[in-house]
Amino acid sequence: MSYRTGSGVDFHQLQKGKELWIGGVKIPHSKGAVGHSDADVLLHAICDALLGALALGDIGIHFPNNSDEFKNIASSILLQRTMELVKKVGYSVVNIDSTVCLEEPKIKPYAEKMRQLIAGITAVTANDISVKATTTEKMGFIGKGKGIMAYATVLLMKNT
């Protein structure tokens, strides 16, 4: 049986008046992420991890941020399209481990909904999806509330 691992990371600036989408869930907050799509940092990191595991490039190659097709698109759609690529080459997700780095808001109340949404798209159970969060203890651009970051690690298995 063949296994592949991949890791992904994504960063976005935060700005007042923008919506904050994390893990496919809209979270009420005074600031949201700035980006070409809905700027969902967690789903972008997962997409990159999936693509990287199979040496298929990165999210920018498949969903360029200068394409009108992807302007304001929900990142859940980008994850669905990424999964189509994963399935096309004969792999499936075993598990996903992820961490979101931000000072606020706290995402724990939304983590289960994120896990359910990601599991549904990636065809695994919520028990196969980990969504964690951490702060940077007020250090750097994240600690000052100017940005958000997420990273993800995936394990894929070749379908027999």
Q: Pairing between strand 91-101 and 147-158?
A: antiparallel
Joined tokens for residue 39: 């700027």
Q: Tell me, what's the pLDDT at 72?
A: 78
Amino acid at 79: L
Report how far residue 139's alpha carbon sits from residue 149's, in angstroms, rounded to the nearest whole number.
13
Q: Tell me, what's the pLDDT at 15?
A: 96
Question: For 90-138, what is each residue's pLDDT tens digit?
Answer: 999 999 999 999 999 999 999 999 999 999 999 999 999 999 999 999 9
Q: Tell me, what's the pLDDT at 63?
A: 87
Q: Pairing between strand 31-33 and 25-27?
A: unpaired
Q: Tell me, what's the pLDDT at 1?
A: 73
In this prediction, residues 141-145 reach a mean pLDDT of: 92
Element containing residue 134 per DSSP (H, E): strand 129-134
Q: Report which of residues 31 and 69 the model is more confident about.
A: 31
On the question of pLDDT at 44 being above 90, the answer is yes
The CATH architecture to which 3-158 belongs is 2-Layer Sandwich (3.30)
Q: Which of 137, 133, 126, 62 is nearest to 96 (CA)?
A: 126
pTM of the model: 0.95
Report how far residue 119's alpha carbon sits from residue 126's, in angstroms, rounded to the nearest whole number.
5
Amino acid at 42: L
On the question of pLDDT at 157 being above 90, the answer is yes
Question: For 47-74, what is each residue's pLDDT tens digit?
Answer: 999 999 999 999 998 887 887 887 878 9
Q: What DSSP string describes 17-81? A: TS-EEETTEEE--SEEE-SSS---HHHHHHHHHHHHHTT---HHHHS-TT-GGGTT--HHHHHHH
Q: Tell me, what's the pLDDT at 69?
A: 80
Q: In what order do the strands lie in the sheet with 3-16?
A: 31-33, 3-16, 147-158, 91-101, 129-134
